[in-house]
């Protein structure tokens, strides 16, 4: 396999391995997954060990109080499986009730935005179907880090400190996450013995210990005392589910795969369907034409996403029409090559901090896994003495009466976290993802196109500078994009945010598998603390 020669400033090289590879946003977690592979576990086992460790070492971004999604390729079956482990709203929650609490939009803090944590049921489904190792082995490393401590890495320390005010607002969160009254600094040891006990209980007695009994009681009590409606019954009744991935063909036998709604993977596919109608290689990587076309495609995709994405159990979503070639051509026709236009949803025919990890094993299995609390430390709540922080995923519900994504009992909200996967000629080619709220489908678009249209290796595709469309005509560009390109884009009507504004451009990981040799090539995001490790 050969890659084109593109170079961008980075402190990292590709990790090349054969027997197994793990890439994620924190090196200790990546090594925990690799340890499982080296002891005979498969990619699914290693993925759960990795994400469980991330729940300890990157606690502002993920935890067992959050949700998860995964795309799992099983080599023997030559099949891609989709896993939706996102939890619903409490059965007592309605948009009318929230509006009656004098909210014009869903709050982001406290008990109201807390939805049922789904991630553990996702671990359960994945391991019961494809795993080969028990929880006692897979949770041993995260339990050890929680009990005995781990040194906090640099960027995680920085983001932890930004959540100080949020943690200070809730006594249990302040006690657990701000020892000595402040966030731990880089390279300081941090311990969470309460979470170690919770994980040990789950490892010894099973997943139901989280959704029933004393742990569930503490979660429900915490949420209700903070003004929310989550009950023990809501927790006990939850189950994750297998879903059929959605996909669009791209060029030369490639296809992009995503989880269907309520996730926003549809957004990435809508943008890719538009982008593939342009001759991007002839525009040249990083040209004004390149950025203009991708920004416009992304704007149109988000307009449709916000209009249509909801829980498919409660709303009719015109997936077939949205992903049809006819609709893609209609949307592409709206794009002017010399003028930026405001986004608006179409009418198809009817037929937020996160962790991402990817794992591949020597048998050809690959896992694309994403898990999140949504915003940094989620709702700000920590459940009693469990050491578990609770997500605020309900903040993504709409309060517009009648909207497909309006808050409602048992509904899952529009979800930002999305794992990505690329096949070539029907075989696994790349497991990849880019975490970061509404940046995620934008990252999937840019990193995927970098690898396919411009022949970049995984690390280079991740290093390349990105844009982040925010709203309307506004878009941010990373500082590495030249002033000349900026001026040309502004001349087309794009409203560029200033270089001095701190923006998030996502955090990605990617593995490409050479179909001929089985060699694994992995890259890890230079914008966070992550690493790719292998053997």
Listed residue (480, 426, 429, 476) closest to 451, CA to CA: 429
pLDDT (tens digit per residue) in 36-50: 999 999 999 999 999
H or E element in which residue 371 lies: strand 366-374
Radius of gyration of the chain (CA): 22
**Contacts of residue 281, Cβ cutoff 8 Å, sequence gap at least 6:** 453, 454
Whether 115 and 391 have beta carbons less than 8 Å apart is answered as yes
Tokens of 502: 């701190």
Beta-bridge partners for 423: 255, 428
> DSSP states of 51-96 as a string?
HHHHHHHSTTT--TTSEEEEEEEETTTTEEEEEEEPPPPPTT--HH
pLDDT (0 to 100) of residue 350: 41
Listed residue (129, 118, 112) closest to 72, CA to CA: 129
Cα(127)–Cα(129) distance, integer angstroms: 5
pLDDT (0 to 100) of residue 348: 67
Question: Strand 520-524 relative to strand 507-513: parallel, antiparallel, unpaired?
Answer: antiparallel
Listed residue (375, 306, 393, 386) closest to 112, CA to CA: 393
**Catalytic amino acids?**
354
Question: pTM (2 decimals)?
Answer: 0.96
Whether 441 and 267 have beta carbons less than 8 Å apart is answered as yes
Beta-bridge partners for 79: 74
Whether 369 and 68 have beta carbons less than 8 Å apart is answered as yes
pLDDT (tens digit per residue) in 120-139: 999 999 999 999 999 999 99
Whether 273 and 374 have beta carbons less than 8 Å apart is answered as no
- List the chain residues with pLDDT less than 70: 11, 347-353
pLDDT (0 to 100) of residue 300: 96
Domain ranges of the chain: 1-535
């Amino acid at each position: 396999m050969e890659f084109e020669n593109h170079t961008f400033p980075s402190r990292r090289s590709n990790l090349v391995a054969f027997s197994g590879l793990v890439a994620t946003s924190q090196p200790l977690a990546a090594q925990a997954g690799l340890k499982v592979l080296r002891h005979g576990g498969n990619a699914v086992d290693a993925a759960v060990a990795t994400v469980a460790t991330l729940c300890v070492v990157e606690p502002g971004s993920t935890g067992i109080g959050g949700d998860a999604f995964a795309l799992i390729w099983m080599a023997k079956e030559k099949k891609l499986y989709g896993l939706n482990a996102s939890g619903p709203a409490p059965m007592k929650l309605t948009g009318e009730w929230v509006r009656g609490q004098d909210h014009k939009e869903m709050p982001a803090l406290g008990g109201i935005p807390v939805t049922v944590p789904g991630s553990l049921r996702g671990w359960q489904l994945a391991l019961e179907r494809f795993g080969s190792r028990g929880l006692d082995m897979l949770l041993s490393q995260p339990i050890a880090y929680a009990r005995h401590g781990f040194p906090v890495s640099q960027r995680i320390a920085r983001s932890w400190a930004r959540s100080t005010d949020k943690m200070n607002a809730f006594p249990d969160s302040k006690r657990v996450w701000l020892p000595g009254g402040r966030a731990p600094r880089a390279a300081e040891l941090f311990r969470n013995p309460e979470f170690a006990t919770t994980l040990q209980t789950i490892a010894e007695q099973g997943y139901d210990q989280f959704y029933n009994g004393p742990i569930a009681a503490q979660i429900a009590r915490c949420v209700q005392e903070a003004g929310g409606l989550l009950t023990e019954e809501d927790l006990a009744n939850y189950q994750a589910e297998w879903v059929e991935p959605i996909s669009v063909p791209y060029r030369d036998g490639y296809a992009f795969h995503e989880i269907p709604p309520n996730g926003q993977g549809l957004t990435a596919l809508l943008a890719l369907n538009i982008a593939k109608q342009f001759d991007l290689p002839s525009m040249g990587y990083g040209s004004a034409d390149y950025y203009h076309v991708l920004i416009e495609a992304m704007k149109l995709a988000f307009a449709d996403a916000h209009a249509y994405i909801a829980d498919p159990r409660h709303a009719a979503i015109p997936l077939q029409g949205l992903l049809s070639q006819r609709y893609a051509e209609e949307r592409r026709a709206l794009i002017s090559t010399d003028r930026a236009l405001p986004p608006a949803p179409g009418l198809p025919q009817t037929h937020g901090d996160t962790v991402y990890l990817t794992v591949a094993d020597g048998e050809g299995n690959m896992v694309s896994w994403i898990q999140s609390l949504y915003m940094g430390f989620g709702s700000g709540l920590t459940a009693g003495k469990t050491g578990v922080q609770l997500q605020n995923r309900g903040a993504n519900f709409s309060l517009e009466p009648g909207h497909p994504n309006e808050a409602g009992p048992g509904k899952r909200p529009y979800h930002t976290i999305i794992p990505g996967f690329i096949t070539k000629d029907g075989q696994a080619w790349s497991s990849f993802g880019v975490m970061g709220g509404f940046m995620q489908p934008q990252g999937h678009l840019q990193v995927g196109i970098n690898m396919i249209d411009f022949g970049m290796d995984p690390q280079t595709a991740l290093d390349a500078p990105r844009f982040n469309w925010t709203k309307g005509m506004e878009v941010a560009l990373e500082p590495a994009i030249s002033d000349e390109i900026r001026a040309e884009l502004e001349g087309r009507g794009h409203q560029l945010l200033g270089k001095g504004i701190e923006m998030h451009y996502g955090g990605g990981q990617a593995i490409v598998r050479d179909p001929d040799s089985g060699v694994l090539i992995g890259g890890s995001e230079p914008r966070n603390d992550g690493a790719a490790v292998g053997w």
